[in-house]
A and B are shown apart, each in its own frame.
Chain A
Amino acid sequence: MKGTKDSLVGELSAIVGSSAVLFQPEDLLAYECDAYTIHRGMPRAVVFPKTTQEVAAVVKHLYGKRIPFLPRGAGTGLSGGAIPLGGEVIISLVRMKKLLHVDVENRIAVVQPGFVNLKLTHSISDKGYYYAPDPSSQYACTIGGNVAENAGGAHCLKYGVTTNHVLGLEVVLPNGEVIELGGAPDMPGYDLLGLMTGSEGTLGIVTKIMVRILKNPEEKQTVLAYFDKVEDASYAVSDIIAAGIVPAALEMMDTVAIEGVECGTYPVGHPPGLQALLLIEVDGIAAGINEQITEIVGVCKRRNVMDVRVAENEEERGRWWANRKTAFAAMGTISPDYLVQDGVIPRSRLPEVLASIRRISETSGLRIANVFHAGDGNLHPLILFDARKPGETDLAVEVGSAVLKVCADVGGTITGEHGVGIEKREEMRYVCTDEEIEAQTRIRTVFNPHNLLNADKLFPKPSRCAEIKIIQSDR
């Protein structure tokens, strides 16, 4: 291969064709990181297989030579799951982007991993169907990536996350073997389908996905409620759930977040000075929606809402959601840089956790915007910082970790939908004992015995105690 001394490039080109291999340093730069931009690492090469057979052949070749590799979708991941630690071959699935099969009668669709999330809904909406998991990046992120991360979204309060919608997978194992999981419901054997989903590309490379598609709900209504106290908004969230309503979505934004989205691409015209807003959506049988909306509006009023409105039409509803879904990017307008966190807490602990986050913000001097899926207790604190100021990036990372500690301490967890990746490897210790981490790495070993596939992601380095144990047992 011209322009490189790396013989591997020629070998990979022989499998996938030379137009499907990147190896020039300037081409590789784009693959140094994903949407978690704080960490960067250079891959050795990037390959773009077009078929399962090509993925399997590439993997087999790399496995044989014990060269580390990792899969990558659209690179929208927020925890660094697709970032090389240095020297890996990236297997990009973006050229495997076909919708293979739709069977509305059985409510299934089969896609290749590079198929973009939102395109699935667009492809089946004429038949009245949609794909439920809707991460904010759904216009760009791939379903393969969604499976790796067990992606969530605003509507998973009622409909669940990716794992609740994946019915079958074709997987290339780290040794190049191709297996099929699922297909029929409750396939006998350990639930590898469930285990593979959310394994962040450390157990296998997904090359085909069968997902459940849902019929569009007959009716949808969306409520926007403004509060001048965060506590009132938090209690309203609990009261709605306690009233026996299962909203399709229940989102919250605080002052800083509202300031951001109003400066962003999709301002709604939220009044200035709000402490919190709730975006609440109910869907289902049309005949039953008004009753629930009336109850929600009643709850908000009892919790001292300043203003509460029901979207008058699809256009208004769309604007409210565009405003919410672009919240992360909108932070770029009020801060040079931001770091997204992803803690989860029991929703009844919302007021105290928000108070703790406020204290962390005050102590550190970094502003924190809160945008989150309040209904399922999934917080997305956006830590605003300026990377040009010395030390501020490190401070932002520390603040993020402190926020996750707060979540873990109230019985929550460190990530609800963004994954651990590189970013939260050490924070895994907030929620797992050494034994619990080992239990998981032993499962990894069953699939990925040489740790070649997405090596050293997801889990912290062995703790000092464990290292001492190993040293002692070596003696």
Chain B
Amino acid sequence: MRELSYRDALNEAIAEEMARDPSVFLMGEEVGYYNGAYKVSRGLLERFGPERVIDTPIAESGFAGVGVGAAMTGLRPIIEFMTWNFSFVAIDQVVNSAAKMFQMSGGQYKIPIVFRGPNASARQVGSQHSQSLDAIYTNFPGLYVVYPATPRDAKGLLKMAIRDDNPVVFLEGEILYNHKGEVPDEGADELIPFGQARVAREGTDVTVVTWGRPYYTVMEVAKELEAEGISCEVIDPRTLRPLDHASIVKSVKKTNRCVVVHEHWPYGGPGAEIVDRVQREAFDDLDAPVLRATNLDVPMPYAVELENDVIVTKERIRKTILQSLYRS
């Protein structure tokens, strides 16, 4: 094991898969000569050449569609959105083309494609650049939705996504790129399967389910609460579709309480989906209503004080956990 940033873990995943399979290519805005808007593709142009690391004009719908067409005809594209916010102008290709093609064609055309890029809030980039799209893309059958929090998960899940024959929406936490963590040594070729949650911290009093950016805030809160005698079990589903609800339910049956913490807006989405499943499948085991701590239900403001409050805060997470324990 060694320490690697989330960014470099993703970079390694792409490089290893491109080296392994010549049908894999990377396409997007500024991925080549600029080395990536967030430097995830640093060095890849130099190593693999402009035929496989392809800069595009600002035309998300166009290059997302080119990716799907290439996937239909035997290639394995990695399509980078400079941010997932820009995928709105290409959502027709992600949903109507990529997600539906295999079924619409009666099981003929597989779409082995990864759409990836930074997701959710960063720092003061305003409402059009701060959205978390997990709530949208999880709604569509035919897509896998992956959202790693740690560098190790980022690498292992991205490699897996590239090798799978289905379209994958791969959400990277924009604020997480510099985050460092342990990653298996080069050449370890770790592939992390989808639909398997990771228990990030074992505990006995309450199950906290979280993913993406708030994962780190939750881990901090859990540490603080431990000092106060409260034991949190933290579960990161890692993939939101498929969702490993069995692991979540199993944990809730042990702790009898559940809090879901996420960055997408509170209306619907995987956050609400998890609550639904827990209430149905662990109804007899619950000692309190399943609660959620989320971003506030407003478009992201620019002003720093407001932004800090809209993004699911440490205080709200702590308060919600205490509430579920009837200690607030």
Partners in one complex: no
